[in-house]
Structure 1
Amino acid sequence: MTIKIVTDSTCDLPGEIIEKYGITVVPAYINFTDGSYLDGIEISRKEFYDKLPNYQTPPTTSAPAIGTFARAYKKLLDEGATKIISIHISSTLSGIYNVAVLAAEAMENIVVKTFDPGNLSLGTGLIVEAAAKMAEAGKSLEEILVKLKDLAQRTYTFAALDTLKFLQRSGRISRLKAGFGSLLQVKPVLKMNAGQVAMEAARTSNGAIKHLLETLKSLGPIESIALVHTNASERAELLRTQAKEMCAQISEAYSMEVTPVIGSHIGPGAVGFVAIKAT
């Protein structure tokens, strides 16, 4: 029995982890007025974030086609996979998961189970990594899926954004709310768990960072943690330093730049954590 793991480019896992565990990554699309680009393949993250504030027409994003997923599944079948688990960004945020479901249902001669972790970025990525480790260890499909459901309920992604502008431009919040936020210099703080997104606000950047640290502390003991940012690696490293007293694992945690598929909606300058609560 060979179980292989499939995900999409929003998972934000380091390349060495993807390679080590043989994870298949299906890229989403970033759409500009001059054409569409495969996320992580045809446009770099640095290039995207450097240009993002200057785009007159906001970039949009789109899911891979059903055929793209089907070809990825078929390739794994041809290479000897007997079962596949396909894990993707929350269906409450993107259509990617639903496309994967349709592709999985159309497959013949192989079992493809789709899993919605209800999260984004490394909130999905850490669950993908856990699935790949369990598959490599010889766990059964049923054992892996049970563990993934447990992990998903305990996984939280929370980040402080630099501005409301990009959420408004992408249609994620109303122009009225964005206008009030800019007037008051509000710094939005987003939190996601189990498919639910909540937005709170801090009056200053320092207040937003304090909010992140208080949220991390409120989770109690942590099983796993990572840092995420949008073109703000120095701010992420400062956040790592500030969190060391309450979470020893942060010293060795990933710090990953968030995919443009998500970054186009939240803008540059965001920093945050992905944390899995201990049981």
Structure 2
Amino acid sequence: MKISKITTQKKNKNRFNIFESLNGKDEYTFSVHEDILIRFHLRKGLELTEEQVKEIKEQDAIYQYYTLSINYLSYRMRAKSEIIDYLKEKEATPDAIDTVIHKLENEKLIDDLQFSKAYVRTKMNTSSKGPNKIKQELIQKRIPEVYIEEALSEFSVEKEVDKVVKMMEKKLSTTSRKKSFQQQLIQLKQSLIQKGFTQGAIELASQEVDLTVNDDEEMDAIRYQGEKVWTKQARKHEGFQLKQKVMASLYQKGFSMDLINRFLDEKEEE
């Protein structure tokens, strides 16, 4: 083909439309970014082979994918896998993706190790997630294991224990006293494990947190739970069997035998 005309696009001044003459008329053939126009010295009258046109189009597509990636990175740091997935959504070819990723890596715009370190610091300081949860999230982002381990070294045992202590103190001070303290503590530890904190850190934190049981609050809790259990079991049982069923249920809920007996004594006095 022979370029017969080059015009600037109305909506994008950095892109140019390339025309060739067919049957005496200028027909649109393709468009390129200004940088591609300059790189290939495109001008009116220049003749291009099919292979040259193919190469120009491929390079222009790569340039567009690179520009899209830069914009995508402008919002926050990204893992390499996130850029790859993003370009796949934009229907980039595997070769184009490889080229863009290689360029971004050379320019230090994507770096999975630095991304991992920043990710760990952010989650550690702004979320309630523990190291195990953060590790799983990095694995999902296809970060190499060696990078994950190095990044997680910033989430030291001391920092993890300190975070767990604060979370436990806050939770235990605000939890409604409708359950036994023991049951609340078990559920709290289970919640912390689900959030990704290690068993070791949780046990160390438990040694630093005040786990003193308030007898009055515990008695209020057993009355609340006990009344519900008593009402339910009284529909099926009575006398000694009723007391045994209530006792077993309350024990499973984490109440001490002393409190259970006090509650049952109260019921007998009614």
Q: Give the structure with the larger strand fraction.
A: 1
TM-score, structure 2 length as denominator?
Answer: 0.22
Higher relative contact order (CA 8 A, sep 6+): 1
TM-score, structure 1 length as denominator?
Answer: 0.22
